[in-house]
A and B are shown apart, each in its own frame.
Chain A
Amino acid sequence: MKSVSAVIPVKDGERYLEELLDALAREGVEEVLVIDSGSRDRSLSIARAAGAQLLEIAPHEFSHGRTRNLGAERTSGELICFLTQDATPCPGWLSAYRKAFALDERIGAAYGPHLPRPDTSPMIARELTEFFAGFSPDGQPAIQRAGDPTFLSNVNACYARPCWEEIRFRDVAYSEDQAFGADLLDGGWAKVYHPGAAVLHAHDYGTLEFMRRYFDEYRGLHESTGHVEPFGVLATVRHVRHAAVADRHWMAEQGLDRGARARWTARSVAHHTGRRVFSALGSRSERVPAQLQRRLSLENRSEAAVPTDHARNGGQPSSEPLQEKAHVDAAASSTSVLPPARRIEQKLSGEVYDVAAQVWKDGPAPLLDPVPGMAERERLRLAMVIPPFSRGSGGHNTLFQIFSRLERRGHACSVWLADYYGYARAVWPAVLRHDINEFFAPFQGPVYKDFDSWQGADVAIATGWQTVHAMLQLGHCRARAYVVNDHEPEFYPASAEHVLAAETYRHDMYCIAASPWLRDLLIERYDTQAEAFQLGVDHETYHPRPVSRRTNTVIYYARYATPRRAVPIGLMALAELHRRRPDVRIVLFGTDEVLDASFPYEHIDVLSPTQLSWLYSEATVGLCLSLTNFSLMPKEMLACGLPCVELAGVSAESIFGAGSPLELAPLDTQRIADALERLLEDREHWSQRSREGIEFVASHTWDRATDEVEAGLRHALRQREAAAGRALVR
């Protein structure tokens, strides 16, 4: 069995020293060396009474690295334990260290957790516990090698003598243990975190004392590493709220009564707020007047100096996990040119796109066996999975215009929200359902926020790339279909979202695309099976209103927040139009963002459908640009007798054909301005376009769109039957 020595630097450490030395005797440490650097309390007599070796040095000779090297040199154990004067080993401490060194012959050091003393505040107790639990989530000893955290704390650590002899503590002002941890891993040694090698360490201080300690701590950190603690009011409020809630949970777990919880909650808020403020102040101490520094400092130190935590803590080394973290930062700075790295706690229960990764890993859930004749049944069970929405969402309007009609046709319809980003986290299901009815169309069925209550469906319907992976995981479905409103990969530059969106078309789902252009694109680019439906127009709302038509008004759907609307190009075209025809009134609508433009214009916010119909009924020409799939808006303009200019060469031709009632122009500001100008000046041409537009869209109804989508859903079921038939024949 390896021999063990313990080295304890002490200054005015009488409070816990006797208890510490008793614990070392109980654990069976053969050799104990106390290095005193000028105690004025009973520390020396306590050490002598316990039979420890005593080495006295002058206070100015103390340095963390140098003094500990001295202690290691003056002892002879094969294992050297370093403890601070306020760290009391728990039963089993030495045995745990012995087990740690037995795990591998290249173990150079081991360390254990710092447990809170009974008088420790819940804030500190929680942080300490969570901090050390992070090193060993399963509660087992964890070996750390190169690339793992360099954290090592001489509050409670044990070193193999050969390792110490090879590396030795650096003679640094701060964080000699952290530097050793980094050097150890770099040197090919390993270290062990052993949960059993625990010491009682933290204890409570008054709120103000804590604040002043944080000021000192961060002033020291700034002086030695240049670290400046970030600070912001909102971030502080968020942090304090988060930390106070975590403290309350901790207190509840520890069984504190309500009165104690209330008292400690108040102190928790003060503690976390003070910590943020005082640490920010400490790390900016050079800007704080000397007199104020002295008042803020627990050391009563008014000027910058190279600090030692020995001095800062009145001889007692660091105790809070915050300081442990500060040590980590300091170590990084002292051993690397890299800026200090921050340990970020877990915030989410999973990554945003875990659901996609799960599908990649396990594949889609199996579909139910088809039932003969299921595609022809009068009523189907339809479950539509939607992404989060807001008022005015065009895609959702399309979905609910159709889905509400499917419901009215007798199908059993339900809606399920897939919310990767938690946009609708604060919105409860009944409110979602209410909003769907208010924003889009009357829907009588239930709305669910997650899939815990999933009941299966004849057809599960994905409606956007963010819904596909969630939908693919749902079981008890006869078929799956994908209502594709637009080619969504084009919404993103090269990115994870772009790739994920494109990948959704490759899951062998029957696609029901919102235009022939989109259908052809899906077939050609993704080799998927697809059919198209035509967007409908609500003719009860969109029809010419009894208002006199202006002769000089161009209205432009300037939704800048939607990049596929090419708003900068639209604005350039309007600027050109204004240059040619300064008398033309230009109105921008569809956005609450007032845009800066090189021409004067009138701005109207987001309008309701009825308001839009009045706007379309009095304007002279509409302008709407679509870089991907066609927008519903030009159809609604046409329904109100308003000729509209759209982009040529994208998707409009696939809907309106060669003799389009739309005025199509290429993506060229001059040509767009030409098209607008022609409609403004040529009354006969304007009248023809207006008449043709009304006639063309008359047959474009939501009932027809619903027919087409329903046919697509039944086709998806029919495909399943056919596939089952083929499988039987084989």
Chain B
Amino acid sequence: MDHPGLERPATDLRAENEHLHAENERLRVCVAALEVELVEVQARTNAAVARWQERAYWLDRWHVDLNALMRRPGASEFRALLRAVRSVGRTYKQLKRNLESR
């Protein structure tokens, strides 16, 4: 088919073809690397979730949802009370230790 002005030398086409081929290969390598990374990320996510499931076993066994529990009215006050009691205990122990060391 004659298209005046559109003819391109064979060397140009060959070069473009090689360029596309190289680009294609580069993209393949890139996709493969991303795929490997995706599996890595998935494996790490799986490991993290599994680790937390391991730690949450007894909570799940006893159907304790700590987040829900702490959202209940009075929970933060109870926690604050516990902290206060513990700090009193710590202070008492510290004082006792100080007195004993003198």
Contacts and interface: CB of A to CB of B under 8 A. Distances in A.
Contacts of A444: 47, 50
Contact of A446 (B32, B36, B50, B61): B50
A373 B32 contact: yes
Interface in A386-441: 412-414, 426, 428-431, 433-434
Among B45, B47, B50, B61, chain A packs the most CB atoms within 10 A around the CB of B50
A447 B52 CA distance: 11
Contacts of B61: 428, 430-431, 434
Contacts of B32: 373, 377
Contact of B53 (A371, A372, A379, A447): A447
B6 to A, nearest CB: 27
A381 B53 contact: no
Given A377-B39, A380-B39, A381-B38, A413 B60 contact: no
Contacts of A381: 38-39, 42
Given A430-B53, A433-B57, 19 more contacts: A373-B28, A373-B32, A374-B35, A377-B36, A379-B39, A380-B39, A381-B38, A412-B39, A412-B46, A429-B60, A430-B56, A430-B57, A430-B59, A430-B60, A431-B61, A444-B47, A446-B50, A446-B53, A455-B45
A445 interface: yes
Q: Is the interface of B mostly helix, strand, loop or mixed?
A: helix
Contact of B50 (A371, A380, A445): A445
Contacts of B59: 430
B49 interface: yes
Given A428-B60, A430-B56, A430-B57, A446 B49 contact: yes
A428 B36 CA distance: 32
24 contacts: A371-B31, A372-B28, A373-B32, A377-B39, A379-B36, A379-B39, A379-B43, A381-B38, A381-B42, A412-B43, A426-B63, A428-B60, A428-B61, A430-B56, A430-B60, A431-B57, A431-B60, A431-B61, A433-B53, A433-B54, A433-B57, A434-B57, A445-B46, A446-B53
A455 B45 CA distance: 10
Nearest to B74: A258
Nearest to B73: A258
A414 B39 CA distance: 12
Interface in B3-18: none
Among A372, A433, A447, chain B packs the most CB atoms within 10 A around the CB of A433
Interface residues of A, number: 23
Interface size range of chain B in the complex: 20 to 34
Nearest to B43: A412
B57 A413 contact: no
Interface of A: 371-374, 377, 379-381, 412-414, 426, 428-431, 433-434, 444-447, 455
Contacts of B43: 379, 412
B46 A414 contact: yes
Contacts of B46: 412-414, 445-446
Interface string B19-38: 00000000010011001101
Contacts of A428: 60-61, 63
Nearest to B44: A412
B52 to A, nearest CB: 8
A540 B36 CA distance: 35
A374 B46 CA distance: 20
A429 B42 contact: no
Nearest to B39: A379
Nearest to A410: B43
Contacts of A414: 46
Contacts of B57: 430-431, 433-434
A381 B36 CA distance: 10
Contacts of A413: 46
A431 B54 CA distance: 9
A434 to B, nearest CB: 5
A546 to B, nearest CB: 37
Contacts of A446: 46, 49-50, 53
Nearest to B55: A430
B35 to A, nearest CB: 6
Contacts of B47: 444-445
Contacts of B60: 428-431
Interface string B49-84: 110011011011101000000000000000000000
Contacts of B28: 372-373
A432 B36 CA distance: 29
Contacts of A434: 57, 61
Nearest to A457: B42
Contacts of B54: 430, 433
B42 A455 contact: yes
A433 B31 contact: no
